[in-house]
Amino acid sequence: GWIGSRFGRRAEPTGAADGGGAAASAELLRWLFFTTCFDADADRCAAASTALGSLLQCAAPRWVPSPDDVASALVLWGADPDALGGGGLEEGAEALLGGAGGAGEASEADLRLNLLALLDALPFATPHWRTQLLSSQDWALALLWRLLVEPHAAPALPALQDAISALIGPSPDGAASPLLGRGGYVLRAFASDLPCSSLLRLCQLLPPGHAGAALQASASLAALRMVVERHHAAPVPPGAAEADSAGGGSANGVSANGVSADGGSADGGSESAGAAALLSELQSLVGSVGREHRKWASHTAELHASLLLLDLAVSSHLASARSSAAGAASSFDALRPSLGLLKSHVQRIRGTYDYFGLECESLLSYLQNKLLLFCGSNGEHDGP
């Protein structure tokens, strides 16, 4: 409290007369970050994290911990630099310590306290990353996103979600984040080796809200394709949505779920095109699973995760389409026959006591009913 009240306002630029204070504030912020990451005393670590977050709420702090600083701290705690996906993290870790040696002989339990304290301060740093890291926002999102499935970071899940929300949400002037249309691209870049259960959790644990739903839509579609391709020898032909988003976005600034880049609804024509593109992609993936259903007979747990990802992709689009023209939403009724055919395949390949096989069958019925109720409520037709 004393640090925040004493130095908080002086961290803002107030003219040349306060130049000494500004320099001290930068040093103070670095010291607080270092204390948060490496102090073995739980009380000092928590106090430093609170003070750091308080000072970072200024309009223009003199220093903000970057994604490289955060990743370097994780490397010093024993994280694999290759898993984090950043280049030169070992050198960055040495620079962070300033030649003071390693992170000490702290136990794993002690390091967990430092990790949680650092994550608690990140929601106050990520708003500044939007303006200071114009060329590396993908890397920043990947770092935060990867931590969502780390067991040691689980107690700080709300803070991580807030940090991601601040990174992908609209800026103070209302500008949309370019990351909204790049969720699938970013996910493929850092999660290609993760099991399907982790891919599912990465999509499920994204923050709530409009921007989070838009990111979830593109991410769940990419994750679904990743899981399906792992079980098929031949590549699955891309649907229109996958082809449009290969460069990290889609044509005319509309993502695959029919949501515009600002997280709102696009115009009627573009939204109908976005719905058609997503429907084409989902039909391609569902049809591929149906044709290769025998390969999933011993992998019904992965098939269940794939169907949950399918539900996320469809639900994200349907939620955004409620305020759109009926045709853009009701076109998804065309997916129901493919789901029905896949359900019949699952009934043939599942065992009598196959829990995940039974769950797949139940989930396919649920998805069919969801599409029937939603498409019927938009007045197109009631379906069979």
Q: What pLDDT sits at residue 118?
A: 95
Q: Does 102 or 283 have the greater pLDDT score?
A: 283
Predicted confidence (pLDDT) at residue 272 exceeds the cutoff of 70: no
Q: What pLDDT sits at residue 259?
A: 38
Q: Mean pLDDT of all residues in the chain?
A: 76
Q: Does 126 or 60 have the greater pLDDT score?
A: 126
Structural contact between residues 258 and 274, judged by C-beta atoms closer than 8 angstroms: yes
Predicted confidence (pLDDT) at residue 99 exceeds the cutoff of 70: no
Q: What pLDDT sits at residue 283?
A: 85
Structural contact between residues 187 and 229, judged by C-beta atoms closer than 8 angstroms: no
Q: How far apart are CA 50 and CA 274, in angstroms?
A: 44
Residue tagged 């792992």 (tokens): 230
Report the alpha-carbon angle 160-161-162, nearest 5.
90
Residue 241, number of CB atoms within 10 A of its CB:
30
Per-residue pLDDT tens for 201-226? 999 999 988 888 889 988 999 999 99
Q: Helix, strand, or coil here: 259? A: strand
Which residues are 265's β-sheet partners?
259
Q: What pLDDT sits at residue 201?
A: 95
Task: Using pLDDT thresholds of 50, 70 and 90, give the confidence band for residue 107.
Answer: low
List the structure tokens of 180.
């909204």
Per-residue pLDDT tens for 174-195? 677 888 888 889 999 888 888 9
Which residues are 237's β-sheet partners?
none
Task: Using pLDDT thresholds of 50, 70 and 90, give the confidence band for residue 170.
Answer: confident
Residue 322, number of CB atoms within 10 A of its CB:
11
Least confident of 178-187, 269-278, 341-350: 269-278
Predicted confidence (pLDDT) at residue 361 exceeds the cutoff of 90: yes
Collect all residues with Cβ–Cβ distance below 8 Å to 195 and sequence separation of at least 6. Answer: none
Q: How far apart are CA 135 and CA 346, in angstroms?
A: 45
Q: What pLDDT sits at residue 245?
A: 45
Q: How far apart are CA 371 and CA 313, in angstroms?
A: 13
Residue tagged 């309009």 (tokens): 59
List the structure tokens of 344.
């019949």
Per-residue pLDDT tens for 149-160? 999 899 999 999
109 burial via Cβ count (<10 Å: 0-12, 13-18, 19+): exposed
Least confident of 118-132, 242-256, 309-323: 242-256
Calculate the dihedral angle through the C-alpha atoms of 108, 112, 113, 117, rounding to the nearest 10 degrees.
150
**pTM of structure:** 0.78
List the structure tokens of 138.
């993908």
